[in-house]
Amino acid sequence: MNSQTNGTAPAVNQRYKLPFNIRRYIRTNSAQLGILGVFLALWLIFIISAPRTFLSPQIYTAFMTSTPFFAIMAIPLTVIVVAKEMDLSFPSIMAMGMVAFSFVYNESAFIGSTTASTTVRVFLSIIAALIAGTIIGWLNGFIVVKFGIPSLVVTIGTQFFWRGAVLVLTSGANFPLEYIKQTFFYPLLVGKIGGFLPMQMVWLVIVTIIVWVLLNRHRFGAHIYLTGDNINSAELMGINTGRTRIQAFMLVGLISAFAGIIASFYVAYFWPNLGSGYLLNTLASVFLGGTSVFGGTGTILGTFLGTFIIGSIDAATVAVGLTGFLTQLIYGFIIVLSVIMHTYLRKRGE
């Protein structure tokens, strides 16, 4: 690791600090402020048109219950898109992680000659699911980097492959996971704090903070931005862009498996098509949040707001009194308008 500067950096006496300037602040944070504006505007519209629903806490508990299932994956997916890569295989990784989970659970009834407790078995199964997700992510990255195939193409393939593997390994069967309710992992992952705050929301916030720190305060994130911005420059200056991208795919794999665990625990049931409805919602959240498909720019906070816009439109359309048929139309409208807004803001910011 060449993190030092060979001791050449002279001590700095004067600290550099720009005086706060509101216009510059707006310009440098335009993408995040833009999506925050869309978020607040929609919220205002919802409150005005359905005040009884949107001024009561129940609707927010409902949003915080269902949105994290895909929002958790949108966070690491942002990292992939900033690195100018794409991953479409995460819904299959969710399911494949749960296959690893149930295999380990079934095989761990006896460890040695003693009977393992359910808690120990579930713990081992969770670890297995996370490892499986990470390995699948590594394989995605490895194929992309070593063979130089665009990740969009690779992950279309692996998405089918792992979904197929799930169907083969489970014979397409679904099965209950009632036993997890006996362990403390159940309340830890999908319980409710004070009957109001779902634990999956807490996990979403934890994942968001960790990935934000990685992307903005760690060398890994610096290399992600530089790789996505100009991979040629990054390589000329000695960044290992292959390793950086493989790590990003592993992060998506790990967190997708985690999302699979949470989504399955919530219903205490495993479905072999787990995650298949999340693909476009998750991707839309990333782009809604202002992350550019051309790489090099994007923010975690933008994605976070994007997921809740996507997550609320469904319920809000009905609550406002419109027919459910309008949902997708409104989705499309908001996504297209927001992406146009982001493109405009980016051009002005340069």
235 binds other proteins, rule: CB under 8 A: yes
For the four alpha carbons of 115, 120, 122 and 124, in that order, the dihedral sign comes to negative
- Applying CB under 8 A, among 36, 131, 222, 326 the residue interacting with other proteins is 222
| Residues 259, 107: Cα–Cα separation, whole Å | 23
- Applying CB under 8 A, among 149, 179, 188, 218 the residue interacting with other proteins is 218
Taking phi over 0 as left and psi of -120 to 50 as alpha, with beta for the rest, 83 belongs to: alpha
| CB-based contact 228:31 (threshold 8 Å) | no
What DSSP line would sit under 50-76, residue for residue?
Answer: -HHHHTSHHHHHHHHHHTHHHHHHHHH
Stretch that binds other proteins, among 57-65, 167-175, 232-240, 262-270 (CB under 8 A): 232-240
Distance in Å, CB of 247 to other proteins, minimum: 12
Stretch that binds other proteins, among 63-71, 103-111, 222-230, 319-327 (CB under 8 A): 222-230
Stretch that binds other proteins, among 139-147, 161-169, 220-228, 331-339 (CB under 8 A): 220-228
Residue 15: DSSP 8-state: P
Cβ distance to other proteins smaller for residue 106 or 216? 216
Query: Which residues have a Cβ under 8 Å from the Cβ of 149 and sit 6 or more positions away?
Result: 143
Contact pattern from residue 27 through residue 46 relative to other proteins, giving x for each residue in contact according to CB under 8 A and a dash for the rest: -x------------------
| CB-based contact 100:305 (threshold 8 Å) | no
- Applying CB under 8 A, among 225, 258, 287, 308 the residue interacting with other proteins is 225
343 binds other proteins, rule: CB under 8 A: no
Distance in Å, CB of 18 to other proteins, minimum: 6
| Residues 232, 240: Cα–Cα separation, whole Å | 11
243 binds other proteins, rule: CB under 8 A: no
14 binds other proteins, rule: CB under 8 A: yes
Distance in Å, CB of 232 to other proteins, minimum: 7
- Applying CB under 8 A, among 16, 20, 110, 147 the residue interacting with other proteins is 16
Contact pattern from residue 280 through residue 319 relative to other proteins, giving x for each residue in contact according to CB under 8 A and a dash for the rest: ----------------xx----------------------
Read off the tokens for 28.
Answer: 């440098």
Residues 176-205 that bind other proteins (CB under 8 A): none
Cβ distance to other proteins smaller for residue 235 or 318? 235
Q: One-letter amino acid identity for 149?
A: I
Read off the tokens for 32.
Answer: 């995040």
Distance in Å, CB of 173 to other proteins, minimum: 44
| Residues 39, 60: Cα–Cα separation, whole Å | 14
Distance in Å, CB of 28 to other proteins, minimum: 7
| CB-based contact 123:107 (threshold 8 Å) | no
Crossing angle of helices 68-82 and 241-267, rounded to 10°: 170
22 binds other proteins, rule: CB under 8 A: no
Residue 182: DSSP 8-state: G
Nearest to residue 278, comparing CAs of 71, 139, 58? 71
| Residues 93, 91: Cα–Cα separation, whole Å | 5
Residues 41-80 that bind other proteins (CB under 8 A): none
Binding site for other proteins (CB under 8 A): 1-3, 5-6, 8-9, 12, 14-16, 18, 28, 217-220, 222, 225-226, 229-230, 232-239, 296-297, 349-350
